[in-house]
Amino acid sequence: MSNLSPQSFTAITDLFHRISGIRLTEAKHALVQSRLQKLATDSGEPDLNVFVQKMVRGQMPEDMLVSVVDKLTTNETYFFREPAHFEDLARRAGAHRGGGEFLVWSGASSSGEEAYSIAMVLADKLGTAPWTIHGTDLSTTVVESARQGLYPMERARNTSKDYLRRFCLRGEGPYEGQLLIMKELRSRVKFQCANLMQPLPALPMFDVIFLRNVLIYFDAPAKRAIVERVIERLKPEGVLYPGHAESLAALDLPLKAIAPAIYQHA
């Protein structure tokens, strides 16, 4: 165990900021130290300050940098978080019935709970009609776990009994206390890594884009750049859902609010 010096804290958080766009303040010092300690030990360099020095000088393998980024992102999420968006989605999907493929993007999908909540609503409203969900996130670890679709039961506390029964399998034996999203839903949700701070991978045009609980980590110029990039993938009549705590009002974007935390092209 070693303490992360103020210089090392600045060096590693600057590096993380350059990659992710997220600025971690001094208030996160203890958190950064504890999250990096295990990585440093596993890498064979238990002195955190030497580990950071090697990291910023590019003397560590590339996959160690990926692990650092994974460790420093905040991935907290759960099913049917901020339920008003899912009610709006259900209305839109119901109105869309018979209108071609319905496409939804979960733009910071973390471990996938948001994308699978969307999938349950679309399976309910659109059934076997064409619909697809894309989930993207910066962190390789969460993207990998999203693809599995296996979760501790407590993450589903906001999920209706009806949806749990229709779309999830209850774990037994070694999987007791967990749920698995059914294959029919998993096959409609595609997860990939994408950094919102960089040019986006090839993605279709979406009817609905969820971009929730990620903008809070960025300063205003970065927020504006991200939203401008994201709405290039929004259909003319499509809607964007930022988190309810993430107002876009001050960003001077070509968007209009049509309801709380629901935006359309202006």
CB 39 within 8 A of CB 70: no
137 catalytically annotated? yes
**Which contacts of 234-238 are long-range, i.e. CB under 8 A and separated by 24 or more positions?**
234/205, 234/206, 234/209, 234/265, 235/205, 235/206, 235/207, 236/265, 237/207, 237/264, 238/205, 238/206, 238/207, 238/208, 238/209, 238/264, 238/265
Task: Indicate if 124 belongs to the active site.
Answer: no
Rule CB under 6 A: is residue 138 a binding residue for ligand SAM? yes
Q: Does 142 bind ligand SAM (CB under 6 A)?
A: yes
Amino acid at 99: G
Asked if 159 is part of the footprint of ligand SAM (rule: CB under 6 A), the reply reads no
- Residue 49 region by backbone torsions, left for phi larger than 0, else alpha for psi between -120 and 50, else beta: alpha
Q: At its nearest, how many Å lie between ligand SAM and the CB of residue 151? A: 13
Confirm if 220 and 251 have CB atoms less than 8 A apart.
yes
Q: Which of 35, 147, 155, 229 is catalytic?
A: 35
Binding region for ligand SAM (CB under 6 A) out of 5-13, 38-46, 137-145, 165-173: 137-145
Q: Does 20 bind ligand SAM (CB under 6 A)?
A: yes
214 lines the binding site for ligand SAM (CB under 6 A): yes
178 binds ligand SAM (CB under 6 A): no
DSSP assignment of 125-151 equals HHTTSSEEEEEEES-HHHHHHHHHTEE
Contact range with ligand SAM by CB under 6 A, out of 126-134, 171-179, 183-191, 206-214:
206-214
The interface mask with ligand SAM, positions 225-244, x = CB under 6 A, is: ------------------x-
Over its C-alpha atoms, the chain yields an Rg (Å, rounded) of: 20
Complex with ligand SAM: residue 33 or 110, whichever CB lies closer = 110
CB 115 within 8 A of CB 135: yes
Minimum CB separation from ligand SAM for residue 47, in Å?
27
Give all strands (DSSP E) within 32-158, no chain letters. Answer: 102-106, 131-137, 150-152
Determine the interface stretch with ligand SAM among 4-12, 123-131, 145-153, 208-216 (rule: CB under 6 A): 208-216
Q: Examine residue 13 and tell whether it contacts ligand SAM (CB under 6 A).
A: no
Chain residues binding ligand SAM by CB under 6 A are 20-22, 73-77, 81, 108, 110, 114, 137-139, 142, 195-197, 212-214, 217, 243
Which active-site residues does the annotation give? 35, 137
